[in-house]
Structure 1
Amino acid sequence: MAQDFSWGVVATVREPADLVLAFAAHHLGLGAAEVTLFFDDPEDPGAALLEQVPGCTVHRCGEDYWQGTRRRERPALQSQRQMLNATWTYNRTSVDWLLHIDADEFLHLPTPLGEELEALRPGDGWLKIRNFERVWRPGTQGDTIFDGVFRKPVKDADDDLARIYGSKARFLWNGFAGHPIGKALSATGRDFRINTHSPRAGRGTENHLPPYRTARHAALLHFDGLTPLHWAAKTLRYAEQGDAAIDALLHPQRQAQVRHVRDACPDLRAILDFHGDLFHLSEQEDLALSLIGALSSAKIDPEAEIARLLPGHRPRFETRHFDEMLGPENAARLMTRVPGASR
């Protein structure tokens, strides 16, 4: 199988162009036969850039796409748009395996992907790929959006979680501020519907989770907020949506984070301090995670692959530059928490 399969990646994106470019280049460099990108904002300037990348297919998700190509109204929830786009791609792709992830998730392959697929049983329809979460070690900040290390899950049922994180544990699911569920590399041609974290097979009362195995070595490196300001903007966006949406869209620990930002953080400085509590390890946390083997030093360095794919483009991954590219909507959202700023 190691020599006789193809795989691709699909994502619905709404991020600065150089991040999406890094995402595409990284996966093409790992051997993906195709990267399919749905730009949630049809006017996103990143779409034109990514159209120049060999191996990328770009869809601009405006009215022509939703009402023309898809013949339906644009779903209100981003998660619904993501799943519909992924399933639509799944039903049309020519690759053997399709990975549905977000633009802040990067596949890490310490061993060849073919070895993971060879370990699947004949009836397995997908490979579950666990995720690690980017954090910063004590005394480090990170000059680029890809700096840092990655923590691995610590089960909620273990005493280790409370022992390591103390009162912060209530904001962490299996030790993660984001999700610890992983994502799916799905075999194509199976009549699956592709959801956020797994495929589903069957319809109606026959709807079920297809058999799978968890990857032994492959992982997703999740940058849950490429910068502190990026995380703050995402969290404020959820806070704007009201309690019903927060409960429907987010897991309980993330709900607690969003409500803490909404109700207990009076200004942007307080939000960034809270981000630091969640993602900047203390000396004790760093030592504890190291002792139980729950830190990974995996790295993302997409610049060489970008240079090969787009020789004339010079990406910028400095933290400050990324913050400047977050766009007017995010800037306006962040400014609501800056005391004295004009609205």
Structure 2
Amino acid sequence: MTLDGPSWAIAALADEPAPLIAAFVRHHLAIGAREVHIFLDRPNPEAEALLHGLEGCILTRCDQAYWEKVNQGRRPGRHLGRQKFNATRAYRTTGCDWLLHCDVDEFISDGPTLSALLAREHVADGIVLGNLERVHRASEPGIHIFEGAFRGPVGFTETDAKALFGRFATFLNFGLTGHRVGKTIVRTGRDWTMGIHTPNGPDPSKLVKSDSRLLLHFDGLTELHYALKLLRKAFENYAGPKRKIGQERSAQFRFVRDHANDPNALLQLARGVQSLTEHQATILGILGVLYEVPFVPEACADLDLSPATFDTMLRVREAALIAKAGLEL
């Protein structure tokens, strides 16, 4: 721990349009992160330009020269494997007291609260930070890609889930499209290797769970972003055993595989699982799992974060995937 309190860093493997990567880095540095380690999974000169000279940003191009240097030329075939490899490198090289491994679509909402939590949990080797998931209100047109409310998980019965979400209930796990287990910020200097949600190490009992849901998960910054994310995963092909995923996420992947050439169906899915009707919002509010405090990333006023610009960049960046699926987006 440093004299002015615990220092913390973030590590993320990034393969997204440049404005999202820049917003992720700028926001976390602005709210108190001492370092943000960004590993570019493929070339992204626009992101490099936006981050050039930004103090605290440690940018790594994960090209073949990088893999030759750090892993005898072997690039892990799975996206998750590359995430864990790079996060562990950051964990073992950072000068900070703590390191959080997350994705660039996940944002810490409150830096001072996180710093206070790290100072308080002085005996923990890791703290699991709970997450909320962004959701759109059906009446909102969307001015920027972070607009919307946030929902927390709730244990619906199958009957109640179908009553509230209709045919889209099969795609929702505890009312969410994505995960509900959060991400772990880990004390450095221990014998951990970084995982996706929790680290791997000798003593899991040293991990504690925070009651604060400080992590905001944007499981798709736009409808197109969500659809392309599912398409990429649905058509993912790599050697070795397949990753185990929940039945709800599996249902999402299965749907996009079955409707890969039907953009209307994909966007209907996105709206059905990530937008709330007034009735749904009312019920979630009564249950105490709807949070309507808006989020705007810090230090990003000069970035173009409009959905239209983001989607235009996505179409260029994911042209090969769109063509493979036979979509006209």
Report how far residue 143 of structure 1 moved: 2.1
Q: Say whether 1:278 aligns with 2:278.
A: no
- Residue number in structure 2 paired with 1:128: 128
Q: Which of 283, 290, 296 is the matching residue for 1:288?
A: 283
Q: Tell me the CA shift for residue 274 of structure 1.
A: 1.1
Deviation (angstroms), 1:36: 0.7
Structure 2 match to 1:297: 292
Structure-2 change in CA distance of 1:226 and 1:284 (3 Å): same
Q: Deviations over 1:175-218 (max 9, x none)?
A: 1101111001100001100100011113xxxxx53422222324
CA distance in 1, matches of 2:40, 2:272: 32
Which deviations, in whole Å up to 9, do the C-alpha atoms of 1:152-190 show, x marking residues without a partner? 111256875444334422211121101111001100001
Q: Which amino acid aligns with 1:10?
A: A
CA change 1:37–1:158 in 2 (3 A) is same
**1:317 Cα deviation after fit:** 0.6
Change over 3 Å in CA distance of 1:10–1:244 after alignment to 2: closer
Identity across the alignment (%) = 36
Q: Which residue of 2 aligns with 1:24?
A: 25
Q: 1:167 to 1:7 in 2, by over 3 A?
A: same
Asked if structure 2 preserves the Cα contact closer than 8 Å seen for 1:110 and 1:217, the reply is no
**Does 271-280 or 136-145 show the bigger shift?**
136-145
For the residues of structure 1 that align with 2:140 and 2:241, how far apart are their CA atoms?
A: 32
What residue number does 2:57 align with? 56
1:334 is paired with a residue whose SS is helix
- The offset of 1:121, in angstroms, is 6.0
Q: CA deviation at 1:325?
A: 0.8
> In 1, distance between residues paired with 2:280 and 2:295?
23
1:267 is aligned to 2:262: yes
Match of residue 91 from structure 1: 92
- Distance change >3 Å, CA 63–CA 153, structure 1 → 2: same
Matching residue's letter, 2:303: P
Deviation at residue 230 of structure 1 after TM alignment:
1.0
More displaced 10-residue stretch of structure 1: 66-75 or 29-38: 66-75
Query: Could you say which residue in structure 1 is the equivalent of 2:16?
Result: 15
Report SS of the residue matched to 2:121: coil
Deviation at residue 301 of structure 1 after TM alignment: 2.2
Stretches of structure 1 that go unaligned for 5 or more consecutive residues are 203-207, 308-313
User: TM-score when scaled to structure 1?
Assistant: 0.87
In the alignment, structure 2 segments of 5+ residues that lack a partner are none
The answer for the alignment partner of 1:310 in structure 2 is none
Contact 1:232/1:334 (CA < 8 Å) preserved in 2? Answer: no
Task: Choose 289-298 or 64-73, whichever is displaced more.
Answer: 64-73
Call closer, same or farther: CA 1:243–1:92 in 2, change over 3 Å: closer
Write the distance in 1 (CA, Å) between the matches of 2:127 and 2:291.
Answer: 21
Deviation of 1:266 (Å): 4.9
DSSP-derived class of the 2:200 partner: strand
Q: Which residue of 1 aligns with 2:209?
A: 214
Per the alignment, residue 109 of structure 1 pairs with 110
Q: Which amino acid aligns with 2:262?
A: D
Q: Give per-residue Cα distances to partners, 1:201-239, cap 9 Å, x unaligned.
A: 13xxxxx53422222324211111111111111111122
Task: Calculate the aligned-residue CA RMSD, in Å.
Answer: 2.6
Q: Distance in 1 between matches of 2:75 and 2:238?
A: 23
Query: Aligned pair count?
Result: 327
Offset, 1:111: 5.8
Q: Which residue in the other structure is 1:315 paired with?
A: 303
Asked if the contact 2:138–2:275 (Cα under 8 Å) also holds between the matched residues in 1, the reply is yes
Once the 2 structures are TM-superposed, how far is the Cα of residue 43 of structure 1 from its aligned partner?
5.0
CA distance in 2, matches of 1:286, 1:154: 13
What secondary structure, in the 3-state scheme, does the structure 2 residue paired with 1:199 have?
Answer: coil
Distance 1:265 1:18, change over 3 A: closer
Q: Which stretch of structure 1 is more off in the superposition, 211-220 or 319-328?
A: 211-220
SS of 2:226 mapped into structure 1: helix
**C-alpha distance in structure 1 between counterparts of 2:219 and 2:113, whole Å:** 26
